[in-house]
Amino acid sequence: MRFQHVCLEALCYRLPDEVVTSEAIEEQLADVYERLGLPAGRLELMTGIRQRRFFAPGTRPGEISARTARDAIEASGIDPGRFGVLVHGSVCRDQLEPATASGVHAASGLPADTMILDVSNACLGLLNGCLLLANMIELGQVQAGVVVGTEIGRELVEGTIDSLINDTALTRQTIKPAFASLTIGSGSAAIVLCDRRLSQTGHRLLGGVVRCDTAAHQLCAGGVSTEDHGDDRPRMETDSEALLHAGIELAAATWAETREVLGWSNDCVDKAFTHQVGKAHRNMLYQRLGLDPAIDYSTVEFLGNTGATALPIAAAMGQEAGHLEPGDRVAWLGIGSGLSSVMLGFQW
């Protein structure tokens, strides 16, 4: 996919106030660690995650997304009447029906002729939403739109901790599929794209590529099962090692095609942002793609894995921190369970 008329006009994020350290999680699991002979500090040592953040108990993603969307719409400086699309793209939603996007739209100040929808694709929902919006802008169907999402990690992490504590048959082997669940954090992000004739930033979306490897769709799976766990909090099982290697290989194939579509070589990529999973994933990804890790902006150490909002939060924080400079060629390297990959190229 190539784009001639699409610009990224605003990137905004919101973070919860409550900080939960990996050490605090391990303190709750002290009896489990002792019974299985696991060393304290294992969670941070293996993932590089010192802490993550949680919204207050009972927080619904839509209420946070509404605020983040309003932030982005205001930051864009574009008349809300020119917005034609609102996509809610996080894993977490308020309910099955109606779309969480409907409540976000009600609080957004956008017009009644805005197309609203939820997009779900694991950790790629916001990036898939960007592609849908970009295509509509490129075709001249809309002038601007906002893609937003909010991930609420508290229930998954706390439910996983309770399950591990209450599983008397747990072993060093059977604890492994739950380990990735303890890395999850919370956050919210919003992205405004617009027709370049409206743009004040000139940050052009040049194009992108999507690829999938659905043979690996069972390597990471989650949901709610009251029969298995006795409550309605979500749980997730992840074959972390197999997912890591399958994801890296999918990323390599996607990046090779992305370079071809954009006419880029590795040497001309100035900055990059990727899905924030852990230090092993980051190191292996950049090594496999042949990119210098110094072009990356990492947030996983202090935010954990914030799902579909992880990459855009990193991009927004990187922009805020001065990581991006005018003229930079910027790569967004998205990977999500399923497996899917979305990679986008920008001219800053």
Report pLDDT digits (tens) over 253-289. 999 999 999 999 999 999 999 998 888 889 999 999 9
Helix H segments across 181-239? 226-229
Task: Using alpha carbons only, give the angle 42, 246, 241 rounded to the nearest 5 degrees.
Answer: 20
Residue 60 domain-assigned (yes or no): no
Residue 328 domain-assigned (yes or no): yes
User: Could you tell me the residue range of the domain that residue 316 belongs to?
Assistant: 204-347
CATH of residue 302's domain is 3.40.47.10
Residue 280 domain-assigned (yes or no): yes
Residue 155 domain-assigned (yes or no): no
Total of domains in the chain: 1
Name the catalytic one among 7, 92, 123, 220.
123
159 CA to centre of own chain: 21
Residue 81 domain-assigned (yes or no): no
Residue 229 domain-assigned (yes or no): yes
Active site residue 194: no
Residue 55 domain-assigned (yes or no): no
Residue 3 domain-assigned (yes or no): no
Q: Is the pTM of this model over 0.75?
A: yes
* Closest alpha carbon to 100 in 85, 110, 114, 90: 90
Active site residue 123: yes
As averages over each run of 10 residues, the pLDDT of the chain (348 residues) reads 97 98 97 93 93 97 98 98 98 94 96 97 96 98 98 95 92 88 96 97 97 83 64 76 84 96 96 91 93 96 96 97 96 92 97
Measure the CA–CA gap between 231 and 215, rounded to whole angstroms. Answer: 31
